Structure 1
Amino acid sequence: MDVFADALLVLARWDVLIALLVGSIGGVAIGAIPGVGPAVAIAILLPATFSLDPIVGLTVLLGIYGSSMYGGSIPAILINTPGTAVNALTTYDGFPMTLRGEGRRALSLAYSASFFGGIFSVVCLILLAPLLAKVAPMFGSREIFLAALLGILLVVVAHKGQMLIAGALSGFGILLGTVGLEPVKYTRRFTFDQSWLAGGIDLIVVVLGLFALSQAFLLLTMDDEKIRITKSRGSLFQGFRELARHPRVAAISASFGVLMGMIPGVGEFTAQFMSYTSARKLSKTPEAFGHGSSEGLIASETANNAVPGAAMIPLLALGIPGEALTAMMLSVFYVHNVVPGPGLFAFQMDFIVALYLALLILNVLVVVFLLISTGWLVYLTKIPNRFLGVCILLLSFVGVYSIRNSGVDCAIAAVFGLIGYVLKRLNLPIVPIVLGMVLGGIMEVKLRAAMNRVKTPIDFIDRPIAFLLFCIIVVICVSTLWRVWREWTPVDRRKPGKKASARFAKRLAGRHTRHFDDRLKIQRRTRRYDHLGS
């Protein structure tokens, strides 16, 4: 009870309350504007949070991270344009409901499903993070190195069809993290006798360039669209009653969101697709999916809002981020000398409890705000793209310069902005670069520490957790190579004999049709917004 009381005192401060309001309301507004997204907003705000207390800065960033998905459902449902990349699947059932004149019902259902997913993930964070933190003292240098390596591997494997380029970009991120003074003997690496490279390439500069500046360049080169908002009928409060009639869909979808959020590199869209597929299989009316099904809308919105809280579990317990946004939040911890892991739970439990309560309050504030102000937020979708691009460009350069008052940092950010712009235009992933920089530094330090105690390669995995992580890495590598081989090897070489080959080809074609037909439809609907997912 003393810890709970201390946490309440932390939350009762005026700056924390302002952070709660700014994070919740600002995140909704950002999510409702197509083309911006939480990554851009967090990248711009990140330098400003370094001067704030950790709980204040993290509350703002987490509020934007989670509430942007609430706001992203508004344009997805009303104008068939996903506000954020993870709301792409929401258009599949939300917009058909709007065409039937049930836009308010769809929005209400999306808000209630998002609220359930958000609260469910926070509860899982409260229950699972302390358990993982108790196991964390068993993680030595070898185990943390293998866990970081597993994170890089999962990020690469998660980009199906782009694994080679994702691996190359991860390696590029690791290379960027080695520029400057190395962490043991402080010798210069890859500086080429240039003094401005001695301090290394700052992670925040790279993040602002890859996410914010690249998006600004993209918006400046896009044409504005004439958006027509369809009038709808219904009550914004009826969604909670309708959600209660589908508890199984909501529970399964939230579970998928939590599971996918805990796995590095997987993300919200994978959780959405898996929950949507399972909901359709379990539904009594699967033919309604894609034509305005309430179950489909619940599945997609519950899953994507269950991810943010779950993504904090490995970050708080082990200090290992699973995606770009949690990697940005990790920098807030390090700036204030707050080290995530078992020590955080042992010595700063009031901070952890305050963070839990802040997440719960944020979800409540977002739902209340949306139920009151949806009619006004709709007009944010009409902001011209070029105006948004100029605003993001100015704010990004101000944020970069404020880090170290360096014009060189602005030039580096501009270069990475162009790199990010090219990657987005080519529909190539950006996240592997950021995670490569973060996890690469962890891997280097821990590998050097571990090698002092290792005599043979077997010694590296002679402890239970290290051996388990090594086995998982081997299984993922082997299964991925096997799947790639199966996809690229001709059918007649895998199944000898004409009849067997024909039978196998028919079964293979049927399987691919069943599993990828929905993805093809979604890609056709959202092809013009693919750049948002980068």
Structure 2
Amino acid sequence: MDAILLGLNEIATFDVIVAIIIGALIGVTIGSIPGLEPAGVMAILLPISFSMEPLAGVSLLLGVYGGAWYGGAIPAILLNTPGTPVAVLTTYDGYPMAKRGEARRALSIAYTSSFVGGLISVFSLVMLAPTLSQIARKFGSAEFAMLAALGMVFVVLAHRKHVIEAAMMLGLGIFLGTIGLNLSYSTQVYTFGQSWLLSGIPLVPAVIGLFAMSQAFILLSQRGNDAQVTKLTGSGIFSGVFDLLKHKVTVIRSAALGVVMGLLPGVGEFGSQFFSYTLAQKFSKTPEQFGNGAPEGLIATETSNNAVTGSVMVPLLAFGIPADALMAMMLAVFMVHNYIPGPTLFVERPEFISGLYISLLLMNLVAFTYLTFATKWIVNLTRIRGRFIGAFILVLGFIGSYSQNFQFSDCLIALGFAVFGYVLKRNNIPAVPIVLGLVLGPLFLARTQQALGVAGGDITIFLQRPISLTLFIMILLSIGVYAWSQHRESKKEKHQQ
């Protein structure tokens, strides 16, 4: 109770409240505009969050992150175009419902499902993060090295159809993370005598270039006309509440899957939506309706989607390990303000942790309320031309890159990553592993060096400690399961031929 009161006191400031509201509204707006992604906008806002109070800065990014998943349902349902990448499955049943005159009902189901999933994700964060942080107290260098390795393996395997490409991009990210001054030996690594590389590849320009400015290039290269939006027809905007009450089992199952998937690095929203939708169809009494406007399908995708938003923070808060590129940005905010995620954060800053829980709760409430009463105006955002948005993002990207260190070299780094990110997107090569390699790579290398130093160079140190051994076995099992599934798929294809 004391921690909750401390959290309320921490959050009851003008800066934090405004950050929550603005973050949620920006997130919903971004999700409503096809072609924009929360990662790009979060990257642009990252330098701004550094100048804010710690909780306000984190709340701003969390608002964008969570609000975007709410807003992404609008173009998915009305345009058959996902507003965010994870809203693809929302189009399967949302758009058919809108076409048959049930657009309001479909949007209501999406909003309510997202709200329920968001609430459950917050409660999961409250329950799981402190417990896992106690386990993290038993971690040494060997355990953290294996945990970072497990995270990188999960990130690669999560891109099932692009595993080779993802592994290559992860390797590139790890390599980029080694550039700079090696403090252990006071030597320069891959700087080629350039003083601006002594501090390494800065995360903020890299993220802005890969996610924001590369997307701007995509939008600028498209020929865009005003979109044709399906009209808002059907029953009231609160009608979705009754659909959720009718399909309570689907809601609970999808939320549980979202929470579990959020704990696994690299899996997140995509994995949770796929499994939730598949199970909902399997256990449905009318599976033939899925893909043709089944409310159950819409409930499953939107509930699991938002159930990830809280649980994805558990590895970050408990272990200091970001589960995806968005959490890597959160980690940057923590580190700038000298708030080191891990077990000590729960002891030293309990008011910050409690304030974080409450801000997530308020973010969901703001996004749900805003969408419930302002949908008829938000729909107009889907008509904004892509080229105009692209030009605006490009300008903001350069400003954001320069504003952190006020160095022109950061703008050039962002531009280089933007061009590279554009090439990756055009060829469907994942860019997320680069960022996680840039963040987790140095952590893995540093912890491995520490562990080997303590063990006198004995590499079996990773097998001698129970927790690191368990994590190592999990790595082997993950790779083994993936290899077996690929083998089965190849045999199946041969039989079909």
**Residue 271 of structure 2 corresponds to which residue in structure 1?**
270
**Residue 408 of structure 2 corresponds to which residue in structure 1?**
407
Deviation at 1:399, TM superposition (A): 0.5
Paired residues of 2:226 and 2:385 also in contact (CA < 8 A): no
For residues 123-165 of structure 1, what are the alpha-carbon distances to aligned partners after superposition, in whole Å with 9 as ceiling and x for unaligned? 1110011110010011100000000000011111111121111
The residue type equivalent to 2:471 in the other structure is L
Aligned partners of 1:363, 1:483: CA distance in 2, in Å? 37
Deviation at 1:233, TM superposition (A): 2.1
**Residue 376 of structure 1 corresponds to which residue in structure 2?**
377
What SS does the aligned partner of 1:138 have? coil
Matches within 5 A, 1:248-263: 248-263=249-264
Paired residues of 1:250 and 1:302 also in contact (CA < 8 A): yes
Aligned partners of 2:115, 2:466: CA distance in 1, in Å? 39
Paired residues of 1:93 and 1:296 also in contact (CA < 8 A): yes
Aligned partners of 2:462, 2:367: CA distance in 1, in Å? 48
**Residue 360 of structure 1 corresponds to which residue in structure 2?**
361
**Residue 420 of structure 1 corresponds to which residue in structure 2?**
421
Deviation at 1:55, TM superposition (A): 0.3
**Residue 243 of structure 2 corresponds to which residue in structure 1?**
242
Aligned partners of 1:446, 1:325: CA distance in 2, in Å? 23
Aligned partners of 2:236, 2:183: CA distance in 1, in Å? 59
Paired residues of 2:169 and 2:433 also in contact (CA < 8 A): yes
Answering whether residue 6 of structure 2 is matched by residue 2 of structure 1, we say: no
Q: In the alignment, which of 470, 473, 483 is matched to residue 471 of structure 1?
A: 473
Aligned partners of 1:85, 1:361: CA distance in 2, in Å? 24
Paired residues of 2:132 and 2:318 also in contact (CA < 8 A): yes
Aligned partners of 1:267, 1:277: CA distance in 2, in Å? 16
Aligned partners of 1:80, 1:406: CA distance in 2, in Å? 42
What SS does the aligned partner of 1:181 have? strand
Paired residues of 2:209 and 2:414 also in contact (CA < 8 A): yes
Deviation at 1:249, TM superposition (A): 0.3
The residue type equivalent to 1:471 in the other structure is I
Paired residues of 1:20 and 1:63 also in contact (CA < 8 A): yes
Aligned partners of 1:62, 1:465: CA distance in 2, in Å? 31
In the alignment of these two chains, the number of paired residues is: 495
Deviation at 1:79, TM superposition (A): 1.1
The residue type equivalent to 1:478 in the other structure is G
Paired residues of 1:73 and 1:90 also in contact (CA < 8 A): yes
**Residue 387 of structure 1 corresponds to which residue in structure 2?**
388
Aligned partners of 1:378, 1:411: CA distance in 2, in Å? 36
The residue type equivalent to 2:38 in the other structure is P
Aligned partners of 1:387, 1:459: CA distance in 2, in Å? 56
Matches within 5 A, 1:26-41: 26-41=26-41
Deviation at 1:488, TM superposition (A): 4.4
Aligned partners of 1:342, 1:53: CA distance in 2, in Å? 21
Aligned partners of 2:296, 2:487: CA distance in 1, in Å? 37
The residue type equivalent to 2:52 in the other structure is L
**Residue 208 of structure 1 corresponds to which residue in structure 2?**
208
The residue type equivalent to 2:249 in the other structure is R
Aligned partners of 2:184, 2:410: CA distance in 1, in Å? 25
Aligned partners of 2:278, 2:359: CA distance in 1, in Å? 32
Matches within 5 A, 1:140-155: 140-155=140-155
The residue type equivalent to 1:338 in the other structure is Y
Aligned partners of 1:459, 1:324: CA distance in 2, in Å? 30
For residues 312-365 of structure 1, what are the alpha-carbon distances to aligned partners after superposition, in whole Å with 9 as ceiling and x for unaligned? 000000000010000010000000110011001111111101100111111111
Answering whether residue 47 of structure 2 is matched by residue 43 of structure 1, we say: no
Aligned partners of 2:274, 2:478: CA distance in 1, in Å? 21
Deviation at 1:486, TM superposition (A): 4.1
Answering whether residue 229 of structure 2 is matched by residue 229 of structure 1, we say: yes
Unpaired segments ≥5 residues, structure 1: 493-504, 510-534
**Residue 528 of structure 1 corresponds to which residue in structure 2?**
none
Paired residues of 2:6 and 2:351 also in contact (CA < 8 A): yes
Aligned partners of 2:482, 2:94: CA distance in 1, in Å? 35
Aligned partners of 2:280, 2:288: CA distance in 1, in Å? 12
Aligned partners of 2:486, 2:105: CA distance in 1, in Å? 43
Matches within 5 A, 1:96-495: 96-231=96-231, 232-455=233-456, 456-488=458-490
The residue type equivalent to 2:107 in the other structure is L
Cα-Cα RMSD: 1.4
Deviation at 1:3, TM superposition (A): 2.1
What SS does the aligned partner of 1:228 have? coil
Paired residues of 1:89 and 1:300 also in contact (CA < 8 A): yes
- When residues 491 and 117 of structure 1 are mapped into structure 2, their CA distance, relative to the original with a 3 A threshold, is closer
Paired residues of 2:92 and 2:292 also in contact (CA < 8 A): yes
Aligned partners of 2:148, 2:114: CA distance in 1, in Å? 30
Bigger shift: residues 483-492 or 445-454 = 483-492
Paired residues of 2:451 and 2:461 also in contact (CA < 8 A): no
Deviation at 1:485, TM superposition (A): 3.9
The residue type equivalent to 1:100 in the other structure is R
Aligned partners of 2:349, 2:266: CA distance in 1, in Å? 28
- When residues 180 and 56 of structure 1 are mapped into structure 2, their CA distance, relative to the original with a 3 A threshold, is same
Aligned partners of 2:292, 2:343: CA distance in 1, in Å? 48
Deviation at 1:452, TM superposition (A): 1.2
Aligned partners of 1:469, 1:159: CA distance in 2, in Å? 21
Aligned partners of 1:225, 1:281: CA distance in 2, in Å? 39
Paired residues of 1:183 and 1:445 also in contact (CA < 8 A): no
For residues 461-512 of structure 1, what are the alpha-carbon distances to aligned partners after superposition, in whole Å with 9 as ceiling and x for unaligned? 21110110111111122233333344446988xxxxxxxxxxxx36xx9xxx
What SS does the aligned partner of 2:460 have? helix
Paired residues of 1:44 and 1:212 also in contact (CA < 8 A): yes
**Residue 515 of structure 1 corresponds to which residue in structure 2?**
none
Paired residues of 1:454 and 1:460 also in contact (CA < 8 A): no
What SS does the aligned partner of 1:263 have? coil
Aligned partners of 1:17, 1:459: CA distance in 2, in Å? 48
Deviation at 1:444, TM superposition (A): 1.4
**Residue 72 of structure 2 corresponds to which residue in structure 1?**
72
Aligned partners of 2:274, 2:172: CA distance in 1, in Å? 29
**Residue 512 of structure 1 corresponds to which residue in structure 2?**
none
- When residues 239 and 485 of structure 1 are mapped into structure 2, their CA distance, relative to the original with a 3 A threshold, is closer
Paired residues of 1:113 and 1:243 also in contact (CA < 8 A): yes
What SS does the aligned partner of 1:243 have? helix
Deviation at 1:403, TM superposition (A): 1.1
For residues 61-81 of structure 1, what are the alpha-carbon distances to aligned partners after superposition, in whole Å with 9 as ceiling and x for unaligned? 001101111101011101111
Aligned partners of 2:124, 2:14: CA distance in 1, in Å? 28
